[in-house]
Amino acid sequence: MGVERAVAELGVLIYPGAQMAAVHGLTDLFGVANRIAAEHQTAQLPLLRVSHWQGEGDQVPERVYDSHPGPDGGLVAVMIPPSIGGFSESQAPQGLIRWIRQQHAQGATLGGVCVGSILMAESGLLDGRSATTHWTSAKTFAERYPTIKLLADTPIVDDGDLITTAGLMAWSELGLRMVDRLLGPSIASGTARFLVVEHSDSASQCGSNFAPILSHGDASILKVQHWLQSTGATDVSLTAMAERAGLEERTFLRRFRAATGLKPTEYCQHLRVGKAREMLEFTNGTIDHIAWTVGYQDPSAFRATFKKITGLAPSDYRARFGVTPPVSVAR
C-alpha cells in the first residue's frame, strides 16, 4: 500500500500571447520532478499538481488543465510565462491582474519570466521591491515603474514571495527554484540533470535559498510575512511585527512559529541571508556593504550568521558561486 503524499498545486497562467513552449515546458519539468521524488518513496515530499489557468480581458482565469484533479486546496505558486510576441503594458488584462493580486494575498508565491515580470509590476505588488526583466524591456520598465528597483543585469531576483527572471528561456530556472523549495535541492539537481539544463549549485551545496511558507492560511501572519519581504526585515522588532499582525506579542510568537516553522528572529535571519546570497552571486559589492544593505550594522555578526545558515563564509560563498568578479581594492 503506497504512502499518501501531500499535494502542492502550481498554477501556470496562460494570457494572450503567452509562450506555450514555456507553459508545457514547466508542466513537463514538474512532471519529471514528481517522478524523481516518487523514487524516494517517502510521504514527506509533496506531489506537485500542475494546473493551467486561462483568461482574457476582464475574465477571471479559469483552470483549463489539471495534472492531478482533486479537492481545491489553493495555489502554492503561480508561474507567469514569457511572451514572444509584442506586449503592451497598457493592455494588460485587468482580470488577470486582479487574479494575480488575489492569489498573492492568499499566500501564493508569484514567479514571472520576462514579460511575466511586467504583469507582476502592473499588479502593484513589485512596488518598492527588487525585480528584473528582459533586456529589451528594461528602459521602458524603469520609466513606467519608477518605484521598482530594477536589477536589469541580474538573471533572476528571488525575493521570497516574488520571483522575477530576465530571459525568455529562464522558465526552466524558475521551475527548478520551485522544485528546490518544495522537494529539496537534490530533487531539483536531479531534475536539471535529466533535462540537461543549467541549475545553480549553490542550493544543493549550501541548502535551498530561503523559501518562506506562505500557504499556511493564517492571514495575520501572512500579512507580517509580506511586510517583512517588502522591507527586507532590515529594521524590525518583535513589537512592530506583533502590531502589524494585530496580535498580542505572546500570541503572535506562538502563531508565527506554528505557521512558518521558525521563530521571528530566525525567520528574519534567513530572509536577510537569502538576500545576501543573491547579492554575493550576482553583484560585486563588498561584503561589508552587503551586510549593511541586508540589515546588519556589525559585519562580523553578519559573517557569523551567514556561515551558520549556509556553512560557508561570505567570501568563500562568492568565490564558489559568484558570477561577477569581486571588486578590486586599490592598494
pLDDT, residue 89, reads 63
Most confident of the following: 14-18, 146-150, 282-286: 146-150
Tell me the backbone φ, ψ of residue 128, rounded to 5 degrees: 80, 0
Which tens digits make up the pLDDT trace of 235-280?
A: 789 999 999 999 999 999 999 999 999 999 999 999 999 889 888 8
pLDDT, residue 154, reads 83
pLDDT at residue 198 tops 80: no
pLDDT at residue 43 tops 80: no
CB atoms within 10 A of CB 115: 26
How do 162-165 and 156-158 pair as beta strands?
Answer: antiparallel
pLDDT, residue 263, reads 93
Report in angstroms the alpha-carbon separations of 76 from 37, 176, 199, 210, 231: 18, 15, 22, 15, 22
Mean of the per-residue pLDDT values of the chain = 88
pLDDT at residue 213 tops 50: yes
**Which CATH architecture does the domain made up of 219-321 adopt?**
Orthogonal Bundle (1.10)
pLDDT, residue 172, reads 92
Quick one: pLDDT band at residue 42, thresholds 50, 70, 90? low
- Higher pLDDT: 287 or 86? It is 287
pLDDT at residue 103 tops 90: yes
Give the bridge partners for 40, in sequence order.
Answer: none
Quick one: pLDDT band at residue 331, thresholds 50, 70, 90? very low
Arithmetic mean of pLDDT, 181-209: 79
pLDDT, residue 115, reads 83
Arithmetic mean of pLDDT, 40-54: 86
Q: Does domain 7-206 have CATH number 3.40.50.880?
A: yes
- Higher pLDDT: 329 or 78? It is 78
Quick one: pLDDT band at residue 208, thresholds 50, 70, 90? low
pLDDT, residue 29, reads 97
pLDDT at residue 206 tops 90: no
- Higher pLDDT: 327 or 274? It is 274
Which part of the chain is CATH 3.40.50.880? 7-206
Q: How many Å apart are CA 125 and CA 273, to the nearest integer?
A: 22
Quick one: pLDDT band at residue 196, thresholds 50, 70, 90? confident
pLDDT at residue 294 tops 50: yes
Which tens digits make up the pLDDT trace of 298-326?
A: 999 999 999 999 888 999 999 888 875 54
Quick one: pLDDT band at residue 7, thresholds 50, 70, 90? very high
pLDDT, residue 88, reads 62
pLDDT, residue 326, reads 45
Which part of the chain is CATH 1.10.10.60? 219-321
Which tens digits make up the pLDDT trace of 52-64?
A: 999 877 888 999 9
pLDDT, residue 74, reads 93
